Amino acid sequence: MTSSIVAALLSRELRTLQRELEAYPSDALVWTAPAGLPNTAGTLALHAAGNLQHFVGAVLGQTGYVRNRDAEFSRRDVPRAELLRELGTAIEVVERVLVALPESALEGWYPLPVANRRVRTDEFLVHLAAHLAYHVGQADYHRRAVTGDKRGVNAVAPAELPSATPVDA
């Protein structure tokens, strides 16, 4: 596994989350909180962008980003344009930092404790990808629940993998 593969997977999931947000017919529906769903798509977008800008950008890339995790879960009615910009910034950070990360860094310890544990950087990056994919799925269900639209947004697209090339028929 290479850091560029992880960057590609994280970027793919962030782009999928952008497509999810774009598929809502209004900004208000992004923030609609139906009974039984713990987070809106807006909250999930803020959390995804903040999480990666912190763990990849600030910690591994020393970007200076300062995370406000509480705000990720308490802010409301943020316009979709701002959410899309935050996700776009997260994509830029992930791609810039991880592509420049030496492969040897993947085998070392992640610089911060995670849940009071030391973990290897490569394992933690895979964890971040799984965490993001989980939240993208939640956003997909939220969108379908509040809009009644059963159509997908081309999530988990194999064609977006770095090695994907057309097969000659």
Residue 157 lies in a domain: no
Residue 106 lies in a domain: yes
Residue 160 lies in a domain: no
Print pLDDT tens along the chain (169 aa): 689 999 999 999 999 999 999 999 999 999 999 999 999 999 999 999 999 999 999 999 999 999 999 999 999 999 999 999 999 999 999 999 999 999 899 999 999 999 999 999 999 999 999 999 999 999 999 999 999 999 999 898 889 888 899 988 5
Residue 164 lies in a domain: no
- 167: its two tokens: 């097969």
Instruction: Phi first, then psi: give them for residue 71, nearest 5 degrees.
Output: -65, -30
Residue 158 lies in a domain: no
Residue 167 lies in a domain: no
Residue 52 lies in a domain: yes
3-state secondary structure the chain: CCHHHHHHHHHHHHHHHHHHHHCCCCHHHHCCCCCCCCCCHHHHHHHHHHHHHHHHHHHHHCCCCCCCHHHHHHCCCCCHHHHHHHHHHHHHHHHHHHHHCCHHHHCCECCCCECCECCEHHHHHHHHHHHHHHHHHHHHHHHHHHHCCCCCCCCCCHHHCCCCCCCCC
What is the pLDDT, as a whole number, of residue 47? 98
What is the pLDDT, as a whole number, of residue 162? 85
pTM of this structure: 0.95
Range of the domain at 24: 3-152
What is the pLDDT, as a whole number, of residue 169? 58
What's the CA gap between 116 and 78, in Å, rounded?
32
Query: How many folded domains does the chain comprise?
Result: 1
What is the pLDDT, as a whole number, of residue 157? 87
What's the CA gap between 131 and 15, in Å, rounded?
15
CATH of the domain at 99: 1.20.120.450
Greatest CA separation for the chain: 52
